[in-house]
Amino acid sequence: MLDKLLFGRYIQGDSLVHRLDPRAKLIGAFYFIIVIFLANNWQTYLIMTLFTFLCVILSDIKLSVFLNGVKPLIWLILFTVLLQILFTRGGETYLVLGPISITSFGVINGAFIFMRFVLIIFISTLLTLTTMPLSLTDAIEKLLGPLKRFKVPVHEIALMLSIALRFVPTLMDEASKIMNAQRARGVEFGEGNIVKQMKAVTPILVPLFVSSFNRADELANAMEARGYQGGEGRTKYRILDWQKRDTLSMLAFVALTGLLLFFRS
C-alpha cells in the first residue's frame, strides 16, 4: 500500500497544468485548501468537485492514478468521518447509544468532511505530480523572497522543503522493502491487539530511521564535496517565467471563490 502513496512523486508531461509556473500552482494549491472551507452545502461541494476534476483532466493524468493515491489514507479519512458521524448532533436523530448519537446533521457533516479530505488530497497530489521538486524549490524561494529583509534563511528553508518532498517516495519505497523482508521472516502486520500491532511496527521503524540518517549524512557529504555554500551568489539554471496562462489560472480561483460565496447557505 505504501508504494501507492503519490505525494512527492513527479510524472513527466506536457499538459497545461505541467506548463503552469510553479508559483501559480503552489499559490493555487494553498488557496484551494483555504477556500474549500467556504463550502458548506451540496451545491458548493459540487462546485469544488467539478473544479478539481477539471484540473485533473487538464493535467492529462488518469483519474485512477489519483484514486490509487487516496487508498493509503482511506482508513484515516474514514476514521475522521466516523468521529464526525458519532459525535456531531443536530437535525433528525437516527440512533442514540449513551454519549454516541447518529443524527442527520452528523451524517451530512461526515460526508462533507470526506469530500473535503479527498479533494485536498487530489489537489495536493496534482501539485507534486505535475511539478518537479527543483521547480517547487525555486517557487518557494521566490514567494518567500521578501522575508530575506528580515534575515530569514529563505534559500535554506526552500532547500529543506524540497529535499523532504523529494525523499517522501524514497522513504515509502524503503519502508515497503523492509516490510516485505520482515514478512519473509514471519512477521505479521495488522494482526492481534493494538499492543501486538505496535510491537510489529518496531522492526520497521528502527531500520527506516537508521537508513534515513545514513542517507542524510551521505547527502550532506555529497553537497559539501560539490562546494555547496548556501544561496549567496548562486545563479539559476531554470528561470521562472510568469505568463498569461498563469494569470488566467489565478482568475479561475477568483471565479471559484465568487461561486462559493454566491451558493453558500
- The Cα–Cα gap between 5 and 147 comes to 33
Q: At which residue does the C-alpha cell 523482508 appear?
A: 181
- The Cα–Cα gap between 6 and 64 comes to 12
- The Cα–Cα gap between 169 and 188 comes to 24
Per-residue confidence at 147, pLDDT binned at 50, 70, 90?
confident
Whether 5 shows a pLDDT value over 70: the answer reads no
Whether 194 shows a pLDDT value over 80: the answer reads no
Whether 189 shows a pLDDT value over 70: the answer reads no
Residue 140: what pLDDT?
83
Asked which of 95-104, 124-133, 188-197 is least confident by mean pLDDT, the reply is 188-197
- Please state, as a whole number, how many other Cβ atoms lie within 10 Å of the Cβ of residue 241: 7
- The Cα–Cα gap between 249 and 232 comes to 32
Per-residue confidence at 1, pLDDT binned at 50, 70, 90?
very low
Per this entry, what is the length of the chain? Answer: 265
Whether 243 shows a pLDDT value over 70: the answer reads yes
How does 3-35 read in b/e, with b if 16+ C-beta sit within 10 Å? eebbbbbbeeeeeebbebbbbbbbbbbebbeeb
- Following DSSP, what letter does each residue of 60-109 receive, concatenated? T--HHHHHHHHGGGHHHHHHHHHHHHHH---SSEEEEETTEEEEHHHHHH
Region 61-65: what's the mean pLDDT? 87
Per-residue confidence at 35, pLDDT binned at 50, 70, 90?
very high
pLDDT tens for 109-133 read: 888 999 999 999 999 889 888 988 7
Asked which of 26-35, 182-191, 209-218 is least confident by mean pLDDT, the reply is 182-191
Contact 20, 246 (CB under 8 A): yes
pTM more than 0.95: no
Helix (H, G, I), strand (E, B) or coil at 127: helix
The fraction of the chain above a pLDDT of 70, given in percent, is 89
